[in-house]
Amino acid sequence: MIDPAVVGSTSEATTIEVEKGAIRAFAHAIGDDNPLCTDEAFARQQGYASLVAPPTFPTTFRVPIPNVRFELSRVLHGGQEYSYERPIVAGDVLRCVSRVADVYEREGKQGGKMTFLVTEVRGEDLDGRLVYTSKSTTILR
């Protein structure tokens, strides 16, 4: 069990530099052939500064969860949500902060307790403007 007292804890800011190669590789890995993600000239013709990241791209960002430790072999992915103020594009430098939003337990269908850890990440540009938020639920069995 994770101590519910960690709810509200926030991480230090992690700086993420969004690179063209990372966007292309992620798009390829998920089978997204949208030219906004792979063809910079096309993305620029559409009014973007560079390649546009696919909507689930922030999954690749490694932002630490504050005050929480767990064994990765006991983790299940429970869910992920993203909300955008604007698309993430190559060349962006984002400051991301993670916050523990909730911790709770439920009885599993096969017996035994499962702990649910809900975290939120806020990604801002270097001027402090919100770019995206994400909410993730991790299940610890």
Span 58-92, pLDDT tens digits: 999 999 998 888 877 788 899 999 999 999 999 99
Average pLDDT, the chain: 94
Task: Classify 127 as helix, strand or coil.
Answer: coil
Give me the pLDDT at residue 75, please: 86
Contact 44, 50 (CB under 8 A): yes
Task: Quickly tell me which residue has 């500064």 as its tokens.
Answer: 49
Give me the pLDDT at residue 73, please: 79
Higher pLDDT, 73 or 121: 121
The CATH superfamily holding the domain 4-18+55-140 is Hotdog Thioesterase (3.10.129.10)
Give me the pLDDT at residue 2, please: 86
Q: Where are the domains of the chain?
A: 4-18+55-140
Give me the pLDDT at residue 7, please: 94
